Amino acid sequence: MNIGFTIMGSLPTMNEIVAASKKHHMQYANMKKDFTALVMIHAKDLPKVNKANYEITWYCQNKRKDKDNIMAGQKFIFDGLVKAGVIENDGWKQIGNVTHKFEVDKSKPRIEVIIKEIE
């Protein structure tokens, strides 16, 4: 079974996460809470999945940010899936392979997540 969802806009990059954590520990805690909740809202109606591979396509507004910096946002994706009850945990038992694709869409930046359940 393949299921998917889309998060409009973007998630914080690694540089933004590090900067927030250096300013004050609560700034990162609030960032994590807010973006995990954002993902949860988009994933709340998905069925429960025991174990799956994930394909994440990052549609960026431009090519200014490095790909490894962009994909740090996957932390919020997996935490949001746990919070939404789609996966029990985000450990090795639930998360198979994770692949990333990167595209540019100047007018509609977004993240598309495809969940491919492993039986």
Identify the structural domains of the chain with CATH numbers, from first to last.
Answer: 2-44+52-117 (3.30.1330)
Write the pLDDT tens digit of every residue in 60-96: 999 999 999 999 999 999 999 999 999 999 999 999 9
**Would you say the C-alpha torsion 29, 34, 36, 40 has a positive or negative sign?**
positive
> Cα separation of 56 and 111, whole Å?
7
CB of 73 within 8 A of CB of 13?
yes
Q: How many CB atoms lie within 10 A of CB 12?
A: 21
Look at the pTM and tell me if it is higher than 0.95.
Answer: no
Banded model confidence at residue 1, pLDDT cuts 50, 70, 90: confident
pLDDT of 119 higher than 90: no
- The pLDDT, as a whole number, for residue 98 is 98
Alpha helices in the chain (DSSP H): 14-23, 25-43, 67-70, 74-83
More confident residue, 24 or 116: 116
